[in-house]
Chains A and B, each alone.
Chain A
Amino acid sequence: MTTDTRTDDSGEAPVPASSDAAPGITVDSVTRSFGPVNALQGVDLTAPAGAITALVGPNGSGKTTLMLVLASLLKPDAGSVTIAGFDPLVHPAAVRRNTGWMPDTLGVWESLTAREILVTMGRFYGMDRDRVRSRAAELLEWQELSTLADQPARVLSRGQQQRLSLARAILHDPQVLLLDEPASGLDPGSRIRLRDDLKQMAAAGKTILVSSHVLSELDEMADLAVFIQSGVTVRVEDLSQEGAAGGRFLITALDPGSLHAALEHYSIAYRTEGKRRDSVSVEVASASEAADMLATLVGDGVRVLSFTPGTSRLEAAYLELDRRRPAEGPASLPGPDAGRAGAAHRPGMRPDGRGIQ
């Protein structure tokens, strides 16, 4: 294991003995620009070990740029980064040994087979031939690619290439995993498997940072969500604390009439939802407000059948950010961005536009 040896790599420069707590990822006011484009304008992030941290933000918000900085591919203009206790600028080799990176693009050598790709990459991580062979076979089995292992990678479907890419990322048993849109192109079964696998790896003490647009999916596995917008960290949400956030709640009662009456009695704005119009949705500011409302309704004799968050917690947080954006900025952005933000306001529509998948 390489976790405890971080202070030993004194070949390059003295390593700050950060702490005895298991080191994950820390990002402190990182900025990075590409010419006139300021991709990152001050991102702060802490991804603890043993947890899954979600990196959430709209397209072009700097998620991938941040991932590249963390993967030791891009130098930040300012700010500091540590991964598994190492600074990628000072100890790139140590960072690379401890980091598995799954890019958002499919970097696949089309004429090499899946097995060859894994073996070659393992050799690049300094693994010896026998170990890398058995490890590759094990990972191919794990990702259900064994039957395709000796076919050129170009015959793999997008989802299969995605699974191969994940296998490649964890080939050298890294301490930190950086996954950029890992679920795109995966079928529902594979997504569930990915979710379970990541949870398992987090439980084993790995640090996992996942970026995705598919909020419902992140909601199911992430312990922590970091929202970035226009290259700035705008919000950090601890998802492990049950019910901290408000949002829209969906209420179904046996007798919709009495529910409507009770809501109107307390002057609570509601909207009828569902195909049979037997449900309503209400907006609450916090989880405790929701609990109070439920107690009141039940106390008033409304026979409540279900009382559930209408949107996922991440979605609620995301939409709240989106809603706040025009208010914070001097003017709402013209063009597609404004259109997208508008679309996100519509009830029932997912902000990622992927409801159909």
Chain B
Amino acid sequence: MTMDTKQESAVRSAGRLGWGAALGNVIQMELRQRLRTRSWYVMLAVWFVVIGLVTWGSVASYNTLAGDDLFFSPGRFVFEAVVGFVLFFGLLVAPAMSASTVSGDRAGGTLAVVQVTLATPGQLLTGKWLASWIAALGFLVAALPYIILAVVLGGLDVPGLVVFVLMVAVEFGVICALGTAVSAIVSRTLFAVVATYLLVALFSLGTLIGFALTAPLTMTTVPANQAVYPDEQPLVDEETEYDAAEWEPLRCAGPMVPQETLDTRSTYWMLAANPFVVVADAVPHPEKPPYDPDDPETWAPDGIMTSISTGVRYLQQPPETNVECANGQLMDQGQQDEDSEGTPVWPLGLGIQVAVAAALFAWGRQRIVAPAARLPRGTRVA
């Protein structure tokens, strides 16, 4: 009797393969193969050189923008440019890292050999995803010297830097999940890679196009009247440092007339799903350092990522923000600046991306379940 129970439990535990063991095994197998192919190293070397050129280019352009004598902490600017390009090239590299994993095994006849083991489809797909993510993170690590250079150049808040790097890593993970899922869904390796690139393009360009095309549909009207400006434009005076920006309306007057404007509150979510927006928006906006250290009224140029984040958050504002004297109210500049901080859009964007990736992942898992009822057209199981 005791023998039976013992056997029973032994059989039951042997019937399933633990997630830890299965994932470790898949990841080890995948990484071993990747580390033994030369192409990964070649890509890594090319990547290192290209990011180096970008870093050099952004340092040089900052110096030109800031002027030779006002060289002041280009760290943030250089850093944002480097991170932006790391993300951009990562979007190009991650599909190549991930979109051939399952379809390549299928073509090589090795997928079926694993499918007849105790490893489950979910374990197999998850392990392959993690392995491709790790391989893609190698590229982020290769870019670290330049990121550290940007830190050394100064002007950086370390938490911001950590969040930036983490978010780029998360985006790599999302793209690798898309690629792994597509490679399981699609039978041909080439088609899987192309389909993944198209998905990446959908997120990075399609979101822009979608937002631009739907913007006219959000046209609305806001009642507004006329702003009254001072009679004369104050002359720009070097000593008092007046400039045009200080020429502001005094009050609002006249009859209320409907003014056309866009209400982007219903469409900005499309932009939120853009990988660049997710990364840029997750980072807390830095205190703007003065352009001229002696004059707190001047600002250094925003980095590219900060500009993206500010821009998207502005789109959350009600349409009144776009219209001067909306509802007869004079815009409070200070209030407007505060509003334009807006609410973070990255949780929404990342949520959309994760939802799409998870749906594709579930579909991909379904495609490698064995015994299979349906096969992709024109394929053999083994």
The reply to whether A126 and B372 form a contact with Cβ atoms under 8 Å apart is no
The reply to whether B110 and A9 form a contact with Cβ atoms under 8 Å apart is no
Say how far A229's CB is from chain B's closest CB, in angstroms.
20
1/0 per residue, CB under 8 A from B, across A140-173: the answer is: 0000000000001000000000000000100000
The reply to whether B33 and A125 form a contact with Cβ atoms under 8 Å apart is no
Q: In the complex, what residues of A have CB within 8 A of residue B28's CB?
A: 120
Instruction: Find the B residue at minimum CB distance from A178.
Output: B116
Q: In the complex, what residues of B have CB within 8 A of residue A297's CB?
A: none
Given contacts A2-B11, A8-B4, A152-B36, contact A92 B382 (CB under 8 A): no
The reply to whether B382 and A112 form a contact with Cβ atoms under 8 Å apart is no
Q: In the complex, what residues of A have CB within 8 A of residue B119's CB?
A: 124
Q: Is B158 an interface residue when CB atoms closer than 8 A count as contact? A: no
The reply to whether A89 and B11 form a contact with Cβ atoms under 8 Å apart is no
The reply to whether B36 and A92 form a contact with Cβ atoms under 8 Å apart is no
Which of under 10, 10 to 19, 20 to 34, or 35 or more describes the interface residues of B? 35 or more
The reply to whether B29 and A112 form a contact with Cβ atoms under 8 Å apart is yes
Bound Cα distance from A12 to B119, whole angstroms: 16
Given contacts A92-B371, A109-B29, A124-B22, contact A8 B116 (CB under 8 A): no
Q: Is A290 an interface residue when CB atoms closer than 8 A count as contact? A: no
Query: Which parts of A2-43 form the interface with B (CB within 8 Å)?
Result: 2, 4-5, 8-12, 34-35
The reply to whether A111 and B4 form a contact with Cβ atoms under 8 Å apart is no
Instruction: Find the A residue at minimum CB distance from B32.
Output: A112
Q: Is B60 an interface residue when CB atoms closer than 8 A count as contact? A: no
Bound Cα distance from A78 to B382, whole angstroms: 21
Say how far B189's CB is from chain A's closest CB, in angstroms.
15
Q: In the complex, what residues of B have CB within 8 A of residue A50's CB?
A: none
Q: Is B298 an interface residue when CB atoms closer than 8 A count as contact? A: no
Instruction: Find the A residue at minimum CB distance from B37.
Output: A111
The reply to whether A109 and B16 form a contact with Cβ atoms under 8 Å apart is no
Identify the stretch in A96-104, A234-242, A256-264 within 8 Å (CB) of chain B at 4 or more residues.
Answer: A96-104
Which of under 10, 10 to 19, 20 to 34, or 35 or more describes the interface residues of A? 35 or more
Q: In the complex, what residues of A have CB within 8 A of residue B381's CB?
A: 68, 73-74
Q: In the complex, what residues of A have CB within 8 A of residue B7's CB?
A: 4-5, 8
Instruction: Find the A residue at minimum CB distance from B373.
Output: A75
Query: Which parts of B90-130 form the interface with A (CB within 8 Å)?
Result: 108-119
Bound Cα distance from A74 to B376, whole angstroms: 12
The reply to whether A168 and B8 form a contact with Cβ atoms under 8 Å apart is no
Q: In the complex, what residues of B have CB within 8 A of residue A73's CB?
A: 112, 115-116, 370-372, 381-382
Say how far B365's CB is from chain A's closest CB, in angstroms.
15
1/0 per residue, CB under 8 A from A, across B1-17: the answer is: 00010011011101111
Given contacts A73-B372, A103-B382, contact A124 B16 (CB under 8 A): no
Q: In the complex, what residues of B have CB within 8 A of residue A110's CB?
A: 108
Q: In the complex, what residues of A have CB within 8 A of residue B21's CB?
A: 123, 126
Bound Cα distance from A75 to B112, whole angstroms: 14
Q: Is A45 an interface residue when CB atoms closer than 8 A count as contact? A: no
Q: Is A105 an interface residue when CB atoms closer than 8 A count as contact? A: yes
Q: In the complex, what residues of B have CB within 8 A of residue A72's CB?
A: 116, 370-371
Bound Cα distance from A89 to B259, whole angstroms: 66
Add 11 more A-B contacts to A8-B4, A72-B371, A75-B372 (CB < 8 A): A71-B116, A72-B370, A73-B381, A92-B370, A93-B15, A97-B14, A103-B382, A107-B110, A107-B111, A109-B29, A111-B36
* Top-7 shortest CB links A-B: A124-B117, A107-B109, A75-B371, A105-B109, A111-B36, A8-B8, A107-B113
* Chain A interface residues toward B at CB < 8 A: 2, 4-5, 8-12, 34-35, 68-69, 71-75, 88-89, 92-94, 96-97, 99, 101, 103-112, 116, 120-121, 123-126, 152, 168
